[in-house]
A and B are shown apart, each in its own frame.
Chain A
Amino acid sequence: MSELLRERALVLMRAPGSFALAALPTLLAVCSALAMFSLFLLAQDVSPLEALRLMFKGAFGSSFAWANSLQRAAPLMLTALCVALPARAGLVVIGGEGALALGGLAAGSVAVMAPSLAVKAAVPLMVLMGALIGGLWIAFAGMLRQWRGVNETIGSLLLSYLGIALFNHLVEGALRDPASLNKPSTLPLPESWMVGAMPGLEVHWGFAFGAAACVLAWIFLRWSVPGFALNVVGGNVNVARLVGLPVDRLVIGACFAGGAAAGIAGAFEVAAVQGSANASLLSGYGYAGILVAFAARQNPLAVIVCAVLVGGIGASGSLLQRRLGLPDAATLVLQGLIFANLLAWEALQGRLANWQLRLSSLGARDV
């Protein structure tokens, strides 16, 4: 009997209407994380309702709040792709922070190497450099996995530390602008290079770029021939080899694409926000991207929504700080709780399908 249910569940999971079912673990995780966060707030003598109201206000309560949230969502979408694209091949890559740092550094160094470039060439070149360096960094984690048997999760994390160290070393050393005294930075970008806001919005073009990348990634994974092949590799690598798919190339390629996305995130942070590569780049977008990708259950379209939500949580931090005297890190506590709850609810995915079937069969009996 349970076997039969499981079979029907497997069919249902693939049905077009299964979107709600796919989103359910994320919704449940957010709810339970909010409940735990409320306890955390109560322990500090803060009213949870007041705090949550303020958080919503700080994230989406005004056009300024929206702009802040979307501004933060822009790099999050791209660093989430750094997790979601390799995930399609069955990898868990968590080294987006390093790829973002090096991508930003590559973009910033364009201003150092070729300060006289025309803006039309400079911005694409910065984005391209960011993509190339970020992509190579994560592709290296893929190569270590495919060719040397190094676990990609650990490999990418260690490479991320290495990337951050390299970033700091160069920003504080060879690439440092001597004029940057308190905050070591690369040479500031010429004013004309800065990527501006989208018309009518206070959000820079990086947001549109990130959203477009997510849509393209979704189309690629869902409809393209290499996307199909990647699905096979992630589903059963033995079978991918059996039908002669170039497994190594596909896996490393997916890593490159993911790393390129994170590198572009770094490039936009430099070209649209910071104006130079400096330590402000390392504010955790790479790690928060892991949360976004898991909340989106590795679906690039869902990444857009989840990135805005997580961006909103980050944006609400300053309001909590000002009004309730909570430390800025309070939003990090909420992010951590959401992540832990996501992992817990993920484990229930199979059972949820079963419960739904039981409910529907009960309903059928009543008729």
Chain B
Amino acid sequence: MSRALALEVIAAGKSFGAFRALDEVSLRVKPGSVHALLGENGAGKSTLVKGLIGYQSLDQGQVMVDGREVEIAHPRAAQKLGIGMVYQHFTVAPGLSVAENLLLATGKLPLHIRWGRVRAELSAFMDGAPFKLALDAPVSGLSAGEKQKLEILKQLYLQQRLLILDEPTSVLTVQEADEVLGLLRDMAHRGEISVLMITHKFGEVLAYADEVTVLRRGRLVAQAPVAEATHDKLARWIMGEPEAGESAEALLDDAATRRLPRAPGSREARLEVDRLSVLDDRGLPRVHEVSLAVHGGELVGLAGIAGNGQRELIEALSGQRSVLGGAIRVDGLPYAATRAQMRERRVFSLPEEPLYRGCVGKLSVAENIALRNFDQAPIRRLGGLVSYRAIRAQAQARIAAFKVRPPLPQRAMASLSGGNVQRAVLARELSEPVNVLIAANPVFGLDFRAVADIHARLLAARNAGAAVLVASDDLDELLQLADRLLVIRNGRIVYEVDAASADRAVIGGHMAAGH
């Protein structure tokens, strides 16, 4: 008899405020199959999976397990039903042994552990397991692939019948990935488990999955047997086809925002990056000798799947991360992102997650708006003191111009909504003439109106002659805004195309790792 679990999700929905993260998504994982879940960042994959695992319950829809409707209110409920999750990042205790980690996973530790009995049980389990690990091996000494195996073993030891894997191979080498996925597929086909796997890699889908579901902006785009899918088709599903009623121009039907042909005289490079290398937080090289140039009156889009070095590159350009090698030039002169250079050459930034990276939550809106010029007259008075009256006056004018709500300069920044935090940051960064603008995911998580507003501001800066570089996880956003697109993968620029001749399937292929 098959142990594998049959899962059916019917019309699942989830909203965060006005944002619809998941909209009427239905999904069927057949028992004993490997089901791939594809989609861009923010397409709703995580929201769906969090609902299934009980981390964040769904607003609407039903979940059926083996044909019976169930309610999954918390992770323990999911565990009881036989649904287990393997996360992208390891959740093993590195200081303990394999055996101790397996025992820990059961979640119920007695006051006194009878190791004799536990070991006998664990060795019996390990004998029947698809991959073998030495029970006494310290986890800190395991390779990434072995740790991933331990994660899966933990779920098998708990006798879970549906494994949800979140990008299981992102930390593995190609060989390790092949081995792990191959063994899981074999287990599924023997009817021991079902697998639901989130991935960005088309190769894995085509090689190991039986069926594939594609989400896009919270909606179901396609569900098909993998036999009917091709590389091209997957890319097209993920990126979406431009629909007739929804062209970029229609979304931005504002005279101020419409693209203007570039003036012929403004082609000089304003921002130049020359073989720039940057380290990530762990001290490993993440950006490898990237070169690019952004010209006056041009908006260049930097596309890529999250985690391919775009964050590090943007942070280096906006002064938040030190540079390992290479050079940055603004207006042809070396640029080290000092305050004096920023002011003199009018370089501004819109960082991603503006509340955490773009402003100081505990300071007031007025103080945040003054971060660029609190050391200049009229805010800086004689004797080097700060005039809070001037800070307030400046904030009042800019809050009005950028429609920050509520229009109260003394409010703590952290008390504003996401869209208004971004507007306040815009009010700081875009109130003076801009020469170079560096933006990262400028509209992430914002509602439609805020998106249109912020896009209009970016285009207005470009139209006023600024060199604008926008990195975004959302390819559609870039196709809509950019004059030219760059694709970054594994810390290198791998593709460059004029927006006019850009093909989203081709771009998607260049973005996806391993192709």
Contacts and interface: CB of A to CB of B under 8 A. Distances in A.
Interface of A: 6-8, 10-11, 13-14, 223-229, 231-232, 235-236, 238-239, 241-246
Contacts of A235: 360-363
B338 A244 contact: yes
- The 9 closest A-B CB pairs, nearest first, are A244-B339, A235-B360, A10-B412, A7-B415, A10-B415, A244-B342, A241-B320, A236-B360, A223-B385
Contacts, number: 82
A226 B374 CA distance: 10
B358, B359, B415, most chain A CB atoms within 10 A: B415
Given A223-B386, A225-B385, A243-B372, A238 B412 contact: no
Contacts of B375: 225, 228-229
Interface in B323-378: 337-343, 349, 351, 356-364, 367, 371-372, 374-375
Contacts of A10: 411-412, 414-415
Interface in B147-171: none
- Say which size band chain B's interface belongs to: 35 or more
A244 B374 contact: no
Contacts of A6: 415
Interface in B397-412: 410-412
Contacts of B363: 231-232, 235
Contact of A14 (B339, B374, B412): B412
A242 B364 contact: no
Contacts of A227: 386
Given A232-B371, A236-B360, A243 B415 contact: no
Contacts of A14: 364, 410, 412
Given A11-B415, A232-B371, A244-B337, A225 B380 contact: yes
B319 interface: yes
Contacts of B101: none
A11 B362 CA distance: 10
Contacts of A238: 320, 351, 356-357
Contacts of B411: 10-11
B318 interface: yes
B384 interface: yes
Contacts of B343: 244
A interface majority secondary structure = helix
Given A238-B357, A239-B360, A228 B386 contact: yes
A10 B362 CA distance: 8
A235 B341 CA distance: 23
Contacts of B338: 244, 246
A313 to B, nearest CB: 32
B265 to A, nearest CB: 30
Contacts of A246: 338-339
Contact of B360 (A223, A232, A244): A232
B319 A242 contact: yes
B51 to A, nearest CB: 22
B359, B371, B410, most chain A CB atoms within 10 A: B371
A225 B384 contact: yes
9 contacts: A11-B411, A231-B363, A236-B357, A238-B351, A239-B360, A242-B351, A243-B339, A244-B338, A244-B339
B358 A239 contact: yes
A7 B414 CA distance: 8
A13 to B, nearest CB: 7
Interface in B378-393: 380, 384-386
Given A231-B363, A235-B360, A224 B385 contact: yes
Nearest to A231: B363
A231 B385 CA distance: 14
Given A235-B363, A241-B319, A242-B351, A13 B412 contact: yes
A242 B352 CA distance: 12
A6 B341 CA distance: 39
A244 B338 CA distance: 5
A244 B319 CA distance: 7
A335 B307 CA distance: 49
Contacts of A8: 415
Contacts of B319: 241-242, 244
Contacts of B380: 225
